[in-house]
């Protein structure tokens, strides 16, 4: 019998009795320390129980003798297997400590911000569950997702991935901005007490002093200085998007595309492996120029699938990424992957795109049963998960999940009670499934996804939808005052991002920067729309040229699809106010948005079918109360936002908050636009005569009242000084 078969027999026969069941670490590995035993057999690596309790678990699984699994491998020289050095542990908090009035920095975090922060990933071990999200949010549950404890790290960061081996030992990973450059560097933390405290994995000061850890600036040709054998220290690793551990020392990670470079490579890798617990990382070899992988799933440290931008994907075999789907000239991306131990797998992405494999990604085919073609223009998948013959996929909009109970032969749509995008799906067991996403929503199913119940974030929506034409032109002062100070939930959308020509090195890096900038000024979400992305040549087009190019791309359907894609955003986020933000005096996309928005607002409000969709697929109609558009620099209006506005509740100014966030965006917006913006009202068909007058405040004199569903509770930071 092979070592893998022996490991599986022992695991399946004894793990349940010794520990009480097993499940996946980051969806595909096992829920208990028995995983270390299995991985060590398969990979011929020594075993490292975390403590005496872990040793007893291993003895129970192996019949009492674990010494046979501590022999060194004869396959070749071994790298250091040291567990990362102990650094001071940090405990989770529920409120940021504010330094004092007139501070320069992000909007301080509090329970209200924790409650509606975007959630990005899920890990489970039996009934124990963990979820991570933006602004360092960490949620935990001990009853299979019925109730949740809400906390956050003391570090304000974007957490993208979580992985647990047991109900005590786990890791969380993501990114935080480097103040000097605005780029995103990795953050990786470990817990040995189930998440009660977290220890950051980092190199000893003596090791750091001998290596150049600087991440190169945008557009720079300078490479990160590697240490021995092309290893990169964790301090120099780009932001982590996906992480899976297979024991205390072995792990794989997917990082932000092109934020690091290795000498001699044609492009920067995004798939890395560690053998020392996360202190140093080595890029996986690749058969072609490194792909911009942004999502992955592994069934072992040596076998998995990876995918990402431009619909590129690869199969991970041993230490090599073999490209099976080369990048295409498209802004569409693959956002979700799922791979099970039976070698079946799924990938999902923009435009309701789904592929299936039966051999761990060596070959891929479309789903046996095709989805309704009208979903292509409506649904952008963000995540996919499968268990047995049940396949679930979801994304934006988030008011339904696509489900198959027969391995993709047939498909149904299952309605959710919220509309914001779903970011992650995860099977706890054969019947219990979690779905999480924007505005802090958590959905729970106990029948393998056939029906769902929202257990957190029920009924939340946004008050303000900001439409930008470039990520770096986010109206930070407006957002700091409207969301940070006044508590109105907000989202920003880039409807026509620049594809392959941006100040950022990848679409994913740009979206991550926009998401962090939004959250740090008090906003909730940021996204880009692939359908009308502009290539480098189109960035200089006139209005008529750009409309003609888009009409060709949409095969003559531009007149219907452009307003529908905007109406889709309106129904998804359900705002009271829409803001169109120009990026400069000559902003072609802003001109087009101004022309199309009245039709899009009307389309979002009508109950009739649109774009070939009807009923629950199209979403519930929604009426926008106001649309405002930023003016040129020489036009003044009563509605203005400046960097000098005093925020009484936050006890600082909009400029001090916005200035601390601008570096994340590497903003190239003109200085006058960053200092002051004026807005005028765009008349709508439903407006009364008095509605067309520009108000002195964004949320002033609205026809509808904005309640707790679209606004956080707010309290002064320093009430004694008001």
Q: pLDDT by residue (tens digit) across 245-287? A: 999 999 999 999 864 444 444 457 889 999 999 999 999 987 7
* Residue keyed to tokens 């770096």: 472
Q: pLDDT by residue (tens digit) across 669-686? A: 555 556 789 999 999 877
The span from the CA of 19 to the CA of 237, in Å, is 35
The span from the CA of 348 to the CA of 336, in Å, is 5
**pLDDT at position 32, please?**
39
Rounded to an integer, the average pLDDT of 321-331 is: 91
**pLDDT at position 705, please?**
85
Contacts of 150 (CB under 8 A, 6+ apart): 94, 111, 114, 115, 137, 139
Nearest one of 542, 587, 547 to 563, comparing CA atoms: 547
**pLDDT at position 605, please?**
93
Rounded to an integer, the average pLDDT of 352-368 is: 96
Q: Sheet harboring 303-308: ordered strands across?
A: 285-286, 320-325, 313-317, 303-308, 293-300
**pLDDT at position 267, please?**
57
**pLDDT at position 610, please?**
62
Q: pLDDT by residue (tens digit) across 68-90? A: 333 333 333 344 445 555 578 99
DSSP letter for each residue of 527-571:
EE-STT-B-TTGGG--HHHHHHHHHHHTTT-HHHHHHHHHHHHHH
Highest-pLDDT range among 263-277, 364-378, 427-441, 649-663: 427-441
Nearest one of 177, 233, 230 to 210, comparing CA atoms: 233
The upper half-sphere exposure of residue 358, i.e. CA atoms within 13 Å in the direction of its Cβ, equals: 7
Which residues share a beta bridge with 171?
Answer: 163, 190
Both tokens of residue 13?
């026969």
Q: How far is CA 636 from CA 97, 168, 639, 670, 676, in A?
A: 38, 58, 8, 17, 10
Interior angle at CA 569, CA 586 and CA 539, nearest 5: 25
> Where along the chain do its domains lie?
3-69, 464-721
The span from the CA of 284 to the CA of 260, in Å, is 14
pLDDT confidence of 310, banded at 50, 70, 90? very high
The span from the CA of 239 to the CA of 120, in Å, is 14
473 phi and psi, to 5 degrees? -95, 15
- Of 198-207, 275-284, 397-406, 438-447, least confident by mean pLDDT is 198-207
**pLDDT at position 113, please?**
96
Which residues share a beta bridge with 647?
Answer: 652
Contacts of 329 (CB under 8 A, 6+ apart): 310
- 388: helix, strand or coil: coil
Asked if 682 and 561 count as a contact pair (C-beta separation under 8 A), the reply is no
Pairing of β 577-581 and β 626-630: parallel
Q: pLDDT by residue (tens digit) across 130-153? A: 999 999 999 999 999 999 999 999
Interior angle at CA 499, CA 288 and CA 187, nearest 5: 70
**pLDDT at position 11, please?**
36
pLDDT confidence of 551, banded at 50, 70, 90? very high
Pairing of β 490-494 and β 464-468: parallel
- 592: helix, strand or coil: helix
Per-chain mean pLDDT for the chain? 83
DSSP letter for each residue of 109-144:
P-HHHHHHS-EEEEEEETTEEEEEEGGGEEEEESST
Pairing of β 525-528 and β 490-494: parallel
Q: pLDDT by residue (tens digit) across 209-218? A: 444 444 343 3
pLDDT confidence of 23, banded at 50, 70, 90? very low
The span from the CA of 706 to the CA of 710, in Å, is 6
> In the predicted model, is pLDDT for residue 27 greater than 50?
no
The span from the CA of 357 to the CA of 344, in Å, is 6
* Residue keyed to tokens 């257990």: 455
Contacts of 700 (CB under 8 A, 6+ apart): none
pLDDT over 70, % of the chain = 78
The answer to whether the peptide bond before residue 397 is cis (omega within 30 degrees of 0) is: yes
> In the predicted model, is pLDDT for residue 527 greater than 80?
yes
E strand intervals along 397-476: 400-404, 412-415, 422-427, 433-437, 442-445, 453-456, 464-468
Asked if 301 and 38 count as a contact pair (C-beta separation under 8 A), the reply is no
Q: pLDDT by residue (tens digit) across 622-654? A: 999 999 999 987 889 999 999 999 999 999 999
321 phi and psi, to 5 degrees? -100, 115
Both tokens of residue 198?
């977290």
Q: pLDDT by residue (tens digit) across 153-193? A: 999 999 999 999 999 999 999 999 887 776 889 999 999 99
**pLDDT at position 165, please?**
98
Residue 667 carries which DSSP code? Answer: -
**pLDDT at position 667, please?**
56
Rounded to an integer, the average pLDDT of 35-45 is: 37
Rounded to an integer, the average pLDDT of 99-116 is: 93
Q: Sheet harboring 400-404: ordered strands across?
A: 380-387, 390-396, 400-404, 412-415
E strand intervals along 449-519: 453-456, 464-468, 490-494
C-alpha 670, offset from chain centre: 29
Asked if 477 and 466 count as a contact pair (C-beta separation under 8 A), the reply is no
Nearest one of 421, 424, 589 to 491, comparing CA atoms: 421
> In the predicted model, is pLDDT for residue 508 greater than 60?
yes
> In the predicted model, is pLDDT for residue 582 greater than 90?
yes
* Residue keyed to tokens 């679209």: 710
Pairing of β 412-415 and β 280-283: unpaired
> In the predicted model, is pLDDT for residue 357 greater than 80?
yes
> In the predicted model, is pLDDT for residue 591 greater than 80?
yes
The span from the CA of 74 to the CA of 37, in Å, is 18
Q: pLDDT by residue (tens digit) across 372-400? A: 888 888 999 999 999 999 999 999 999 99
Helices 543-553 & 558-573 angle (0-180, nearest 10): 90
Q: How far is CA 476 from CA 228, 473, 713, in A?
A: 43, 8, 21
Asked if 54 and 35 count as a contact pair (C-beta separation under 8 A), the reply is no
**pLDDT at position 84, please?**
54
Q: How far is CA 633 from CA 453, 592, 700, in A?
A: 49, 19, 23
Both tokens of residue 695?
């108000």
CATH class of segment(s) 464-721: alpha beta
- Of 53-67, 376-390, 424-438, least confident by mean pLDDT is 53-67
Rounded to an integer, the average pLDDT of 580-593 is: 93
- 57: helix, strand or coil: helix
> In the predicted model, is pLDDT for residue 687 greater than 60?
yes
pLDDT over 90, % of the chain = 64
């Amino acid at each position: 019998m092979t070592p893998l078969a022996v490991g599986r027999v022992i695991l399946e026969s004894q793990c349940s009795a010794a520990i009480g069941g097993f499940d996946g670490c980051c969806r595909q590995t096992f829920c208990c320390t028995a995983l270390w035993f299995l991985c060590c057999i398969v990979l011929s690596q020594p075993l490292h129980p975390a403590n005496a309790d872990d040793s007893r678990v291993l003895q129970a699984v192996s019949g009492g003798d674990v010494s046979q699994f501590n022999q060194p491998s004869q396959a070749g020289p071994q790298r250091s297997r040291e567990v990362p050095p102990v650094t001071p542990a940090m405990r989770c908090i529920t409120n940021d400590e504010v330094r004092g009035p007139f501070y320069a920095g992000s909007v301080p975090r509090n329970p209200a911000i924790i409650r509606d922060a975007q959630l990005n990933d899920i890990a489970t071990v039996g009934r124990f569950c963990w979820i991570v999200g933006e602004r360092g949010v960490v949620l935990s549950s001990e009853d299979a997702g019925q109730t949740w404890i809400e906390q956050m790290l003391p570090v304000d960061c974007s957490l993208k991935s979580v992985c647990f081996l047991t109900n005590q030992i786990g890791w969380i990973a993501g990114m935080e901005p480097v103040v000097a450059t605005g780029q995103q560097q990795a953050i990786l933390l470990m817990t040995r007490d189930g998440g009660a405290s977290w220890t950051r994995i980092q190199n000893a000061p003596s090791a750091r002093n001998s290596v150049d850890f600087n991440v190169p600036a945008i557009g720079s040709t300078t490479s990160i200085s590697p240490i021995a054998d092309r290893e990169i220290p964790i301090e120099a690793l780009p932001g982590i998007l996906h992480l899976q551990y297979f024991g205390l020392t072995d792990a794989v990670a997917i990082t932000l595309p092109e934020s690091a470079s290795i000498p001699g490579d044609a492009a920067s890798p995004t798939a890395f492996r560690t053998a020392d617990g996360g202190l140093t990382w080595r890029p996986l070899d690749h058969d072609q120029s490194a792909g911009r992988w942004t999502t992955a799933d592994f069934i072992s440290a040596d076998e998995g699938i990876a995918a990402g931008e431009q619909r590129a994907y690869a199969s991970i075999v041993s230490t090599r990424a073999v490209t099976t789907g080369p990048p295409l000239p498209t802004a569409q991306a693959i956002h979700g992957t799922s791979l099970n131990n039976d070698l079946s797998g799924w990938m999902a992405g923009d435009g309701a795109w789904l592929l299936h494999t039966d051999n761990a990604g060596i070959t891929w085919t479309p789903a046996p049963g095709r989805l309704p073609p009208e979903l292509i223009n409506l649904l952008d998948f963000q995540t996919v998960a499968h268990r047995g013959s049940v396949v679930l996929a979801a994304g934006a909009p988030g008011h339904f999940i696509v489900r198959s109970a027969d391995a993709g032969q047939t498909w149904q749509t299952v309605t959710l009670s919220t509309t914001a995008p779903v970011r992650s799906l995860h099977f706890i067991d054969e019947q219990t499934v979690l779905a999480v996403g924007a505005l802090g929503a958590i959905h729970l199913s106990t029948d393998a996804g056939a029906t769902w119940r929202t257990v957190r974030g029920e009924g939340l929506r946004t008050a303000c939808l900001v439409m930008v034409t470039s990520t770096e032109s986010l109206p930070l002062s407006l957002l700091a005052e409207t969301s940070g100070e006044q508590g109105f939930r907000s989202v920003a959308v880039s409807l026509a991002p620049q594809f392959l020509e941006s100040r950022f090195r990848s679409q994913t890096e740009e979206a991550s920067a926009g998401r962090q900038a939004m959250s740090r000024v008090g906003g909730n979400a940021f996204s880009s729309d692939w359908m009308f992305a502009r290539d480098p040549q189109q960035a200089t087009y006139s209005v008529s040229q750009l409309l003609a190019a888009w009409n060709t791309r949409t095969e003559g359907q531009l007149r219907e699809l452009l307003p529908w894609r905007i109406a889709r955003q309106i129904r998804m986020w359900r705002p009271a106010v829409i803001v169109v933000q120009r990026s400069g005096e000559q902003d072609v996309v802003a001109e087009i948005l101004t022309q199309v928005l009245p039709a899009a607002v009307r389309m979002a409000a009508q109950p009739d079918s649109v774009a070939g969709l009807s009923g629950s697929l199209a979403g519930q109609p929604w009426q926008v109360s106001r649309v405002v558009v930023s003016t040129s620099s020489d036009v003044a209006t009563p509605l203005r936002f400046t960097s000098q506005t005093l925020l009484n509740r936050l006890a600082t100014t909009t400029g001090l908050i916005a200035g601390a966030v601008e570096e994340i965006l590497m903003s190239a917006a003109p200085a006058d636009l960053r200092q002051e913006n004026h807005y005028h009202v765009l008349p709508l068909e439903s407006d009364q005569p008095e509605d067309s007058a520009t108000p002195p405040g964004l949320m002033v004199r609205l026809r509808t009242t904005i309640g707790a569903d679209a606004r956080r509770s707010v309290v002064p930071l320093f009430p004694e000084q008001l």
